[in-house]
Amino acid sequence: MGTKSMFQKNGFTLIELLVVIAIIALLMAIILPSMSKVKEIARMTLCANNQRQVGLGAGAYAADNDTRMPPPPARGGRPSVLNRWQNDTVVYPYLGPYIPLAETFNCPVSSFASYQIDTGNGTFDYQYLYEHPQDTSLYPSDPSVHGNFNLNCSYLLFWNYSFTDSLSERSFTGPGKNSNVKLLTCDAFFFTNNLGSGGVIKNRWASTHPFKSASSKMKGEQDFPYFYWEGGAYSESDYDNENDLRSVKLNAAYTDGSVHKFVSGDSYQMQKVANYASFRIPKKWY
């Protein structure tokens, strides 16, 4: 009799157990959104830190070279490349001593730097391709035709990069000895008509950072590791009508060492590159 009374005294009733479960559920409902927000802030911070390191590296190079920035790897082409064989221009010989890790040119949210990339003559680490763009073993055909292996990165690189918008006739010349533009790099955000090996993505908006809606997908291929948007009419005009396309959170780094957040809705459209991609950059250039 005494044992039973003690059990009843120390045990939980069903009502008490349900109350405890309800309290735990309530706390989880409060905590989880906060944790999600903290995770988003952390990702943006890591991305901003990488862009800041790119800015410091380019600035250190300029300090050692009479204020001259390195040659632009893309010149007037797609600004999201570290090596571009068409221009025979690469980043590593100039910035390698200042930015030794290729992953620095990539947002941690993206998966660029984690891929083993198939060059047509074997697979190679991203870091190796950064350091050895002219390794002749990379190419299945005449290396003199290819020059350097094309290597993409997730940031847009603007030092000495130039374009003129045919609609507004606004001229952009990125940071360099004769430029007062301060925008050095930013996250990629663009509309593409045809991009990736064999055109894996056609008529889609793509971004380094995810879109808000459930229609945001990651293209898990080595040549297109962006988030891309599934929705709307799949045209550039969607930007004017879809809030999803105007609320992507992005980072941009400047020559003064600062990194600023901006949303895609506060961006400016560059000229279309090679008729397949329209990149957008922050309106703050200076």
Average pLDDT over residues 63-71: 90
Higher pLDDT, 147 or 251: 251
The domain spans of the chain are 40-282
**5-14, 30-39, 265-274, range with greatest mean pLDDT:** 265-274
Top-ranked range on mean pLDDT: pick from 8-17, 59-68, 115-124: 59-68
pLDDT digits 0-9 by tens, 154-163: 899 999 888 7
Mean per-residue pLDDT over the chain, rounded: 78
Instruction: Tell me the pLDDT tens digit for each residue of 163-182.
Output: 776 555 567 888 887 888 89
The pLDDT value recorded for residue 184 is: 93
pLDDT of amino acid 278 = 84
Alpha carbon 44 to its chain's center:
11
Mean pLDDT of 20-29: 75
- Give the pTM: 0.79
Question: Residue with structure tokens 């009843």?
Answer: 8
pLDDT for 247 beyond 70 = yes
Question: Residue 238 pLDDT > 60, yes or no?
Answer: yes
What per-residue confidence (pLDDT) applies to 7? 46
Q: Give the mean pLDDT of 145-150.
A: 60
Residue 33 is predicted with a pLDDT of 57
Handedness of CA 274, 275, 280, 286 (dihedral sign): positive
| Amino acid (one-letter) located at 175 | P
Q: How far is CA 222 from the centre of its chain?
A: 14
Amino acid making up residue 117: I
Q: Work out the average pLDDT over 82-88.
A: 69
Residue 110: name the closest of 131, 126, 95, 129 by CA: 126
Find, among 253, 258, 244, 245, the residue nearest to 282 by Cα: 253
CA distance 58 to 98: 8
Does residue 237 have a pLDDT over 60? Answer: yes
